[in-house]
Structure 1
Amino acid sequence: MRIIFRCDPMLIEHLPRPIPARGALPEWLRAMPATAYSAIHGRDIRTLKQCPPVVDAMTYGFMVLLPCDVVVDKGTFSWDWQIPEPVTQNHPRAPLSFHTPGQLAGSPFATPGQAALKFNSFWTIELEDGWSLFATHPVNREDLPFRLVTGLVDSDRFSDGGINFPAVWTEPGFSGVLGKGTPVAQCFAVPRAAQQLEYEVFDEERQASYARTVASVLSTPGVYRKRFRARRGRSAGE
């Protein structure tokens, strides 16, 4: 999958580039122990750090990053970002803008009187024909003080304008700095081909295979990682 990012020529030296998601793993994942004692099991067991599906989800696709520090003081957002004037008309200069509260009315994201954030995009994104861009909150990043609203954009067609990422601020009492380079959206390409769902019952061979596989997983650590996990190639630039 070839993904092309473009930006205004005046900003190319001022913008953090989207990066493979594996390069934005949080410090808490790096720091957490690989095992922890379980009173239920009476022994140490593996933590999420050693769960391949969790880690693979967090390293999938690429991250769009916050382009500058944003100072947050209990619902007030400010920044001091000195960048050249873009030469492209209708191009944003602010890292954030906002959706009015009414745009969330009737949704579970709505909080009376609270606007939604909009992380402005400074990169356009072009995908290959037949593919769309799935943009969501960085996977398993409950530590971030916002929640991105998930969206799907046909970026093989819409590739001349920036994609803005709406989000809800979830920590009204937060005061601090949302740092430059904070991942704001995790994105990956998905095909638009229709899915065909099929339903079957286990035949004898599948029953036997199920029993063997589950018994192996329950009795031996690392079975999924060693026998079933696919090797993941690195994207160009990593």
Structure 2
Amino acid sequence: MRVIFRCDPMLAEHLPRPIPARGALPDWLRAMPATAYSAIHGRDIRTLKQCPPVVDAMTYGFMVLLPCDVTVDKGTFSWDWEIPDPVTGNHPRAPLSFHTPGQLAGSPFAHPGQAALKFNSFWTIEVEDGWSLFATHPVNREDLPFRLVTGLVDCDRFSDGGINFPAVWKDSEFCGVLAKGTPVAQCFAVPRAAPRLEFEVFDEKRQAAYAQTVADVLSAPGVYRKRFRARRGRASE
């Protein structure tokens, strides 16, 4: 799968490039202990840090990054970002804009009088024919003070315009800086063809395989990681 990013020539030296998601793991994941005491079990047990599906989801695809520092003061957003004028018509200069509150009406994201953020992307994104781009909140990043609204864009066709990523700001009392390079969207290509769903019951062979697999997983730590987890290649430019 090739993913092609393009930007205005005047901004190429001023924009952080999207990066493989494995390069944007949060500090809390690195700092958290591998094991913690469980009063229920009466012993130390493994934490999320040792759960391959959790970590693999966080490292999947690529991250779109905030292009500059954004200062936030209880719902007021400002930035000081000196960039050249883009030579491309209808091109944004601001790192974010807004959706009016009415655009959220009737959804779980709606809060009285609160607009939605719109993270502007300065990169166009092209994927291969028959694929779409799935854009969602950075996986398991509940520490971020916003929540991205998930979307699906047919970037094999829509590849000449930038994608805007809508989000809801979660912490109305937040005062601080959303730093340049903060991941704002986690993206990956997905096939557009719908899957065919099939349903079966276990035959004797599947029953035995189920029982043995569960017994193996419960017998020792790391069984999934050692026997079932697929090796993942690193993204290349």
Matched with 1:152 is 152
Distance 1:144 1:208 in 2: 44
Letter aligned with residue 216 of structure 1: D
Q: What is the distance in 1 between the residues matched to 2:90 and 2:43? A: 60
What does 1:81-230 correspond to in 2, within 5 Å?
81-230=81-230
What is the CA deviation profile of residues 7-51 of structure 1, one whole-angstrom value per residue up to 9, with x for unaligned ones?
000000000000000000000000000001111111111100000
Deviations 1:73-117 (A, max 9, x none): 000000000000000000000001000000000000000100000
- Secondary structure of residue in 1 paired with 2:11: coil
Counterpart residue number, 2:5: 5
CA distance in structure 2 between the partners assigned to 1:163 and 1:236 by the alignment: 22
Q: Which amino acid aligns with 1:143?
A: D
Distance (Å, rounded) in 2 between the aligned partners of 1:69 and 1:122? 15
Q: Distance in 2 between matches of 1:194 and 1:11?
A: 38
The DSSP-based 3-state class of the residue aligned with 2:86 is coil
CA deviations 1:129-164 (Å, max 9, x no partner) are 000000000000000000000000000000000000
Shift of 1:194: 1.7
Classify the secondary structure of the residue corresponding to 1:82. Answer: coil
Whole-angstrom CA distance in 1 between matches of 2:149 and 2:194 = 24
- Give the number of aligned pairs: 237
Counterpart for residue 16 of structure 1: 16
Distance 1:17 1:195 in 2: 32
Displacement after TM superposition at 1:206 (Å): 0.3
> Structure 2 CA distance, aligned partners of 1:35 and 1:194?
40
Distance 1:32 1:194 in 2: 38
CA distance in 2, matches of 1:175, 1:40: 39
Indicate the residue corresponding to 2:29 in structure 1. 29
- Report the alpha carbon displacement of residue 72 of structure 1 after superposing the two structures with TM: 0.1
Structure 2: unaligned runs, 5 residues or longer: none
User: What is the alpha-carbon distance in structure 1 between the residues aligned to residue 127 and residue 202 of structure 2?
Assistant: 39
The unaligned stretches of length 5 or more in structure 1 are none
1: CA distance, partners of 2:124 / 2:228: 36
CA shift digits 1:116-137 (9 cap, x unpaired): 0000010000000000000000
Structure 1 stretches of 4+ with a deviation exceeding 2 A read none
TM-score, normalised by the number of residues in structure 1: 0.99
Distance 1:44 1:59 in 2: 26
Report the Cα distance in structure 2 between the residues aligned to 1:231 and 1:58, rounded to whole angstroms.
15
Q: Is the partner of 2:177 in helix, strand or coil? A: strand
Q: Secondary structure at the match of 1:205?
A: helix
Query: What does the per-residue CA deviation read over 1:176-214, in whole Å, with 9 as the maximum and x for residues that have no partner?
Result: 000000000000000011210001100000000000000
Question: Following the alignment from structure 1 to structure 2, what is the Cα–Cα distance between the partners of residues 88 and 182?
Answer: 26
Query: 2:50, 2:221 → 1: CA distance?
Result: 10
Query: How far apart, CA to CA, are the structure 1 residues paired with 2:164 and 2:40?
Result: 46
Percent of aligned pairs sharing the same letter: 89
Amino acid corresponding to residue 164 of structure 2 in structure 1: N
